[in-house]
Amino acid sequence: MTDGIWVIAGIVSLLILVSGAVLSYKDSRFGLISAIIAVIVAFIASSITGSFGYVVFVLAISLLNIFSLEAMQNDIKGIDYGLVGLIALATMFILNTDDLAYVLTALVIVSVPTYILVMLREGAVDVEIGVKYIVFMVFATVLFLIGAIIIASGAEGIMLTLGYVMLVVGLSLEVGVAPLHEWVPDVFAAADPIPVSVIASIAKIVPFVAAFRILASTPDVEIAAISLTAVIAAFSMFVGNIGALTAREHARVLAYSTVANMGYMLTCLVAVSVSVSHVSVSHAHKEVQMAALLGGVLLLFANAAGKIGFFNAIKGEGACSPLLYTLSFSFIGVPPLLGFWGKFFILISLVSAALAAQFHWLYWLAGILVLNSAVSIPYYIRLARELGSCWKANITNYIVAAATVITLITVFLYIPVAWFPADIGSIEIPISLPAAGG
Amino acid sequence: MIFLLLVPLVAVFIAPLLSPRAASWLSSIAFSVPFFGVLYYLFAGFPPREIIFSAPAPVGEFYIFVDGISAIFSLSICAVSAMVALYALPYMEHRFREMGVNVEEEFRKYVFIYNLYAASMLWLVHCGNLIMLYVFLEIMLITAFLLIYMYGYGNRQWVGILYLIWCCIAGVLTLVGFLIIASENGTLSLDAIERVGIVAWAFIFAGMIIELPGLGPHVWLPWAHAEAPTPVSALLSPLTVGLAGYIMLRVALIDAVFFKVFTVPIFIYAAISSIYAGFSVFVQTDFKRLLAYSTVSQMGYILIALCLLGAGGEAAKFGAMGVSIQYMSHAFGKSILFCSAGGLIALFGMRDIEKMGGLHDVVPEISNAAVMGFMNLAGILTVGMFGEFFILRGVVEAFGMNLAYLLPVVFIFILSGWYGFYTMRKVFYGRPRSSVAASHMSAYLFVPLFVLGALSVLFFFPPFSSAWVPELFKAVGMGGSSVVSGGVSASAAVGGGLLP
């Protein structure tokens, strides 16, 4: 039934997107309107079949991404809205299915449009950046898919570890976790800020949710492999923050901030693997997974809102100062802003998992996460100070204001501590892996 | 109760729409409403807790409440915030003109952040969930940072960042402690937490010792408190830092295992902190920096009182009372003193005490107010006298008539009076070192100081003291505490000569 509603809604949305893209050759506004309608149709279908809380955030972020494209002219004006719309559909869908094939399809649907978006510039196409980005992304996606398939085939022992490592490495390359982050600063600094704001925001959600759900369905992963992931996570946090502290160009600071944020995200995968793979944590199995998923998606939403805001500020050569400070504080993790709740639930998951005797070292991972949050303060404040200006009534300022509203929504404490956890709690996180017998 | 707390929050958004004068008065009234409300509860009895909503584990119930402890903290916060809001009118106008910015426009921003800052402190002492408490703690820190960063003196941006980094480290360490509590108890609701493990305590203590601060992590405080605009210093030093003591007190009333294990080391550390900072006062030449070191010394009192909670029994009760009363006394005293220092800055642009002296003849209003401030710190005929009494009584209960413990505490009390009178002599009495002429002084610069001074005396005498002392006794003996099983009743305290 659930899949049925979604298949119909998905087809309708795709038809709307394609029609809009075709008609946009006449007038680019068709592309804009069709993207908005398609995303809203998918939102309604997702609200019926899955987590309302999750999709409402995705809707808000995707609409911001779509509207921010208004701030740039490019050679495929009109189609670009459709590409972002396509990413939004897959992002909403990822929590609505428990089928591995659909999950992996969603990953590919999110990845491919970014290949085109990254090449867009004002009145031109930057093929060099595109080639660099595509090479990395294709490699990443292939690694991720092979890893997922090895895991799904019911592999054990060394093969399971191999599948796990390939999945984690593919993910790391895809989202820019250090030491596989080399493409991130170059692409973020060289490409136009608006497409980068898409790549750095909504496009980060699906890879993580896909990996999370696959790993939540994968027991018996070796502790050594999980520990390695934890080391990579910690390394990424340090590399990202040190890189951001020393970078001068705003886009590079944001690129390294992404590397750090993806390190935080990787800790969610550590917590979930610990919870499903080791009996000693079974007392808190469900709680650890739920806290990790909650923290992960909230941090991704906070990252998305912040990146959209800052890249639009770069595009508009400045934005209203108090808005940028609010976004900075959210990134730093100051409560009650959205970014805080992401880190809060991630820490809850790590601390809960750390209660098991052989995982006490997760306290250190939690400590490193906390330390890195503090280290990030100077560069976020610097960004806000350097990009901050007076309010101007233009599209980039409106986008920054809307992104700020998203980060402020958790001021109503009921949302992050009661409503959203209850909403996400209704989702069955593990998916059906064929070899596991569904 | 919740409506009382909502009044300052509403003022946060309305005040920026008004002129500076109207905004100042509105802010002052907004904090006076909960002040009188809590005062009413003190005499008429406290209302039951009000649940805002329930969240799934491990967060638990969000509720607000008022008991004897939170009432003392709340009254201090409301009174100081209300009075400093009025004091800030001429001061911040002077500061904005000095900075060369549009006074009216900048005052709107200032009053928004100021009210949010003060309101977050008020909510912090009334919320019944550790995560809610943490949220208000961070709002408080960030708003204070913004005020320093935007309107401070000297290298204000550097000082602001210094303050922010230290306080964020303090905040997150505390948060990790809270998270461990959440994992161990499945809730963060204050009345449902059953135990606080030593690891959780270690994180909370490490975080709060930065915030309090103790000797060592205190490096940020003299900078932040001295370079902040004076109305902010007048909240930062008297109210904000002491809230670290409140947080530790609340956690210790649930489970004081950490203080039990480390009673003596913490006592020694607190005494050294207090004495070192007390002597540091004498070598300062900047008036506000001098007051900042005095704050570190006074926070040593609070830490001594807190470590008594580890001793259990009556010592714990007296310790808990000492923390609360010391907070109130320091709040009144130090806000008066910072405002006095600010008055000299606004009138004469003077901060260097080497250039002061004989100012009593020029600004007797400020000089007399400063006397009241130091009387509070020294515990002379003000509510501070209760604070010193309960701390000393707690030390006797915990360690007996052991001079090794008693003498340092008595010496610290004497030291406060000593540096108080030293400062008075250096700044206000003696031979003038600069030629400054008397000029017109706005009543806003000194009347709020006298109101605070009067309150500190009023709270010393009945019927106020006979209302709050019993309620404080009830609060420290209330609910699942492992430290307050002893049997000193409120009536015994009153009848036993604790009250004048």
Query: What residue has token string 């089928």?
Result: A99
Which of A283, A327, A341, A351 to mutate to test binding with chain B, by most B CBs within 10 Å of its CB? A351
For residue A336, what is the DSSP state?
T
Per-residue pLDDT, B475? 84
Of B55, B131, B179, the CB nearest to A351: B179
CA dihedral A133, A139, A141, A146 (to 10 degrees): 180
Taking the Cβ of residue A351 and every Cβ of chain B, the question of whether any pair is shorter than 8 Å is answered with: yes
- The answer to whether residues A117 and A198 touch, using CB atoms and an 8 Å cutoff, is yes
**pTM score, two decimals?**
0.84
Predicted confidence (pLDDT) per residue in A144-187, tens digit: 999 999 998 888 889 999 999 999 999 999 999 988 888 899 88
Of residues B110 and B490, the one with the higher pLDDT is: B110
Position B73 confidence tier, pLDDT thresholds 50, 70, 90: very high
Per-residue pLDDT, A279? 57
Query: Strand B50-55 to strand B60-64: parallel, antiparallel, or no bridges (unpaired)?
Result: antiparallel
Question: At residue B495, does pLDDT exceed 60?
Answer: no
Q: How far apart are CA A388 and CA A176, in angstroms?
A: 27
Q: What are the backbone dihedrals phi and psi of residue B385, each rounded to the nearest 5 degrees, phi first?
A: -65, -40
Q: How far apart are CA A64 and CA A395, in angstroms?
A: 11
Average of per-residue pLDDT values in chain B: 88
Q: How far apart are CA B77 and CA B72, in angstroms?
A: 9
- The answer to whether residues B166 and B217 touch, using CB atoms and an 8 Å cutoff, is yes
Mean pLDDT of B81-109: 93
Position B116 confidence tier, pLDDT thresholds 50, 70, 90: very high
Q: How far apart are CA A277 and CA A286, in angstroms?
A: 13
Per-residue pLDDT, B16? 94
Predicted confidence (pLDDT) per residue in A6-24, tens digit: 788 889 999 999 999 889 8
Q: What is the DSSP string of B389-456?
A: HHHHHHHHHHH-S-HHHHHHHHHHHHHHHHHHHHHHHHHTSSS-SS--------GGGTHHHHHHHHHH
Per-residue pLDDT, B71? 94
Question: At residue B21, does pLDDT exceed 90?
Answer: yes
**A356's tokens:** 């098991």
Q: Is the peptide bond before A193 cis (omega within 30 degrees of 0)?
A: no
Query: What residue has token string 């994992």?
Result: B183
Per-residue pLDDT, A51? 82
Per-residue pLDDT, A370? 84
Q: How far apart are CA B173 and CA B207, in angstroms?
A: 5
Mean pLDDT of A228-238: 95
Question: At residue A64, does pLDDT exceed 70?
Answer: yes
Predicted confidence (pLDDT) per residue in A246-281, tens digit: 998 999 999 999 999 999 999 999 999 988 877 555
Question: At residue B364, does pLDDT exceed 60?
Answer: yes
H or E, element range at B19: none
Mean pLDDT of A288-300: 92
Per-residue pLDDT, A129? 84
Per-residue pLDDT, B498? 37
Distance to chain B for A49, nearest Cα, Å: 23
Per-residue pLDDT, A256? 95
**A244's tokens:** 């951001």
Mean pLDDT of A36-46: 92
The Cα-based distances of B25 to B84, B227, B446 in angstroms read: 11, 26, 16
Chain A residues within 8 A of B56 when measuring between CB atoms: 418, 421-422, 425
Chain A residues within 8 A of B176 when measuring between CB atoms: 347, 351, 366-367, 370
Those residues of chain B whose CB sits closer than 8 Å to some CB in chain A are 52-59, 62, 131-132, 134-135, 138-139, 142, 146, 157, 161, 164-165, 168-169, 172-173, 175-176, 179-180, 182-184
Question: At residue A113, does pLDDT exceed 70?
Answer: yes
Classify residue B400 as exposed, middle or buried by CB count within 10 Å of its CB (0-12, 13-18, 19+).
Answer: exposed
Mean pLDDT of A299-318: 95
Question: At residue B500, does pLDDT exceed 70?
Answer: no
Mean pLDDT of A400-429: 89
Per-residue pLDDT, B482? 40
Predicted confidence (pLDDT) per residue in B159-216, tens digit: 998 898 888 888 888 988 998 898 888 899 999 999 999 989 999 999 999 988 888 8
Mean pLDDT of B52-73: 89
Q: Is the peptide bond before A336 cis (omega within 30 degrees of 0)?
A: yes
Query: Strand B50-55 to strand A124-125: parallel, antiparallel, or no bridges (unpaired)?
Result: unpaired
Classify residue A254 as exposed, middle or buried by CB count within 10 Å of its CB (0-12, 13-18, 19+).
Answer: buried
Q: Is the dihedral of CA A277, A282, A285, A288 positive or negative?
A: negative
Enumerate the β-bridge partners of residue B57: none
**B336's tokens:** 């008066």
CA angle, B401 then B402 then B407, to 5°: 100
Q: Amino acid letter at A420? A: F
Predicted confidence (pLDDT) per residue in B430-454, tens digit: 777 777 776 778 899 999 999 999 9
Which 358-387 residues of chain A touch chain B by CB within 8 A? Answer: 366-367, 370, 373-374, 377-378, 381, 385
- The answer to whether residues B273 and B303 touch, using CB atoms and an 8 Å cutoff, is yes
Predicted confidence (pLDDT) per residue in B274-323, tens digit: 999 999 999 999 999 999 999 999 999 899 999 999 988 889 999 999 99
Q: What are the backbone dihedrals phi and psi of residue B286, each rounded to the nearest 5 degrees, phi first?
A: -90, 125
Question: At residue B120, does pLDDT exceed 90?
Answer: yes
What is chain A's Cα-based Rg? 20
Chain A residues within 8 A of B172 when measuring between CB atoms: 333, 370, 373-374
Average of per-residue pLDDT values in chain A: 89
Q: How far apart are CA B378 and CA A42, in angstroms?
A: 68
The Cα-based distances of B265 to A329, A364, B270, B307 in angstroms read: 37, 26, 8, 9
Per-residue pLDDT, A120? 87
Per-residue pLDDT, A5? 80
pLDDT above 90: percentage of residues in chain A: 55
Per-residue pLDDT, A9? 87
**Start-to-end Cα distance in chain B:** 31
Per-residue pLDDT, B60? 87
The Cα-based distances of B294 to B186, B213, B233, B266, B372 in angstroms read: 40, 12, 13, 19, 15
Which of A326, A337, A344, A390 to mutate to test binding with chain B, by most B CBs within 10 Å of its CB? A344
- The answer to whether residues B241 and B213 touch, using CB atoms and an 8 Å cutoff, is yes
Question: At residue A434, does pLDDT exceed 70?
Answer: no
Per-residue pLDDT, A430? 79
Chain A residues within 8 A of B164 when measuring between CB atoms: 377, 381
Query: Strand A120-121 to strand B50-55: parallel, antiparallel, or no bridges (unpaired)?
Result: unpaired
